[in-house]
Amino acid sequence: MAINIPRGTQDILPGVVEEWQYVEQKMREITKRYNYSEIRTPIFEQTELFQRGVGETTDIVQKEMYTFEDRGGRSMTLRPEGTAPTVRSYVENKMYGDPNQPTKLFYIGQMFRYERPQAGRWRQFVQFGVEALGSNDPAIDAEVIALAMDIYRELGLKHLKLVINSLGDLESRKEHRNALIDHFKPRIGEFCSDCQSRLEKNPMRILDCKKDRDHELMKSAPSILDYLNEQSQAFFEKVKMYLTDIGVEFEIDSRLVRGLDYYNHTAFEIMSNAEGFGAITTLMGGGRYNGLTEEIGGPATPGIGFALSIERLLLALKAEGITLPIEKGLDCYLVALGDAAKDKAATLLYELRKAGFTADKDYQDRKLKAQFKAADRLNVKYVAVLGEDELAKNVINVKDMATSTQEEVQLSNFIEYLLERS
């Protein structure tokens, strides 16, 4: 019986993986510019981390987590998102004691959610995210948003829309919470079971419901922006001012609440407006999460971050017809004819690679014509032919595949010859 790949996962094969590598390298370049350092956390954590950090009323915790019991009887979960593990590491490793604050981190890693697979949504997927911990300055909110926009722009995307909102502080959210309960309670029976259970626990999450998003009460629901206290309003105005000053265009959407319980103050999403991108237009999302470190046992520490799906980023590039400038091909391909030449080619190949060239040779004992065809398929710059006659004269024939010119080169000068032309 054939063993197939699990549903909702994918093999990223040669020819495609180079696109991933290019995108990831671009992310590393940009985060370095912004002074963010990479962090790598375990692929699984204690289940309680996500229950407390992400929130028990979220779809992730209630429906989507891959949770298992290990041999010690402990409940473990494959990480569904990257913020809670990053903050856990921040607390456990006492990064808050570092004199260089805020602590600015990024991650690239696999996440797992049990969802119905569709375009741009996988059960195993890769997220890139940044977290800035230790600053209440609204300027860092603008910095994090600008970093996200830079990634998309520098990869060539143009059909982008940035949407922002303020969720306010605890006082503002409490007032808004009460208004939402009063608004939905008389007709909550018309909503899905998830919304009904969230009414008292976290009514703001009702606004994020996909099933009931077209219900008339959704359109008339109280706006959080009408309940921001003076401090929250001033904070939001500063974020908008900084974004405007650096030329980052945005729209305000008072219905944007994000799907995780730990968000407060600034919330944002970047969407693709590209034709043919698909029904799920959101490319990434993030926001401020003051209070999360306390929730998982650390000192009071403000934080802000975002996460984006690399799979959706690649789909957006495809939708806009963007081809990444990926270098393909090899510098040199060795064609060896005869046993003695094959033995010498094995040594030459090692020397080529040691000198920094990308190089390969035939390992299937093919004829001359077949070896040249293999070199063509590999998009090789130079083909070097070594046969018994060349070996006897201590030379090698080097063909420039772009110009079809060929030159006989002394074997002792072969590496230097290629270095001069590289």
pLDDT value of residue 216: 86
Contact 292, 262 (CB under 8 A): yes
Contact 149, 160 (CB under 8 A): yes
Range from 120-129, 236-245, 257-266, 295-304 that averages highest in pLDDT: 236-245
Contact 358, 380 (CB under 8 A): no
Digit-coded pLDDT (tens) for 3-57? 999 999 999 999 999 999 999 999 999 999 999 999 999 999 999 999 887 877 6
pLDDT value of residue 228: 94
Closest-CA residue to 75 (of 57, 48, 114, 102): 48
Q: How far is residue 96 from each of residues 50, 105, 290, 302, measured CA to CA in Å?
A: 21, 12, 14, 11
pLDDT value of residue 316: 94
pLDDT value of residue 278: 67
Q: How far apart are CA 161 and CA 249, in angstroms?
A: 8
Digit-coded pLDDT (tens) for 175-194? 888 888 888 888 888 889 88
- Does 237 show up as a binding residue in the annotation? no
- Does 127 show up as a binding residue in the annotation? yes
Q: What are the sequence ranges of the domains in the chain?
A: 16-169+229-320, 330-420
What tokens does 240 get? Answer: 């908008």
Q: How far apart are CA 261 and CA 197, in angstroms?
A: 15
pLDDT value of residue 279: 66
- Does 377 show up as a binding residue in the annotation? no
Digit-coded pLDDT (tens) for 350-373? 999 999 999 999 999 999 999 999
Does pLDDT of 166 surpass 70?
A: yes
- Does 416 show up as a binding residue in the annotation? no
pLDDT value of residue 219: 85
- Does 263 show up as a binding residue in the annotation? yes
Q: How far apart are CA 135 and CA 26, in angstroms?
A: 26
Least confident of 26-35, 205-214, 253-262, 406-415: 253-262
Q: Half-sphere exposure of residue 131, counting CA atoms within 13 Å on the CB side?
A: 29
Intrachain domains 16-169+229-320 and 330-420 with the same fold: no
Digit-coded pLDDT (tens) for 258-317? 656 667 899 999 999 887 776 678 999 999 999 899 988 999 999 999 999 999 999 999
- Does 152 show up as a binding residue in the annotation? no
pLDDT value of residue 189: 87
Domain 330-420 has CATH 3.40.190.10: no
pTM beyond 0.75: yes
- Does 82 show up as a binding residue in the annotation? yes
Q: Supply the CATH classification number for the domain 16-169+229-320.
A: 3.30.930.10
